[in-house]
Amino acid sequence: MTKDVYAADQRLTEQRLAVLERDLAAEVRARTAAEDSAAAARRWLIGAFGAPLVVAALQLWMLSKGGPP
């Protein structure tokens, strides 16, 4: 194998690694964004369904304490 062929092979290998690293970084960013989106959706669901349940429980508790009808 000549020096030129070896150098060309090394450049090709470096280019392949650069592409793989770029794709991996993009995948990590996409996965992080998806995880953040899922966490935001969970927080929204907890707030949307949890808050009315807490308010209803407080109202029932206050009514059971013998407050005005």
Render pLDDT for 8-62 as a digit per residue (tens, 0 to 9). Answer: 999 999 999 999 999 999 999 999 999 999 999 999 999 999 999 999 999 999 8
Query: Could you give the angle at the alpha carbon of 42 between the alpha carbons of 40 and 46, nearest 5°?
Result: 120
Task: Please tell me whether the overall predicted TM-score, pTM, comes out greater than 0.75 for this model.
Answer: no
Residue 7 CA to residue 22 CA, distance in Å, equals 22
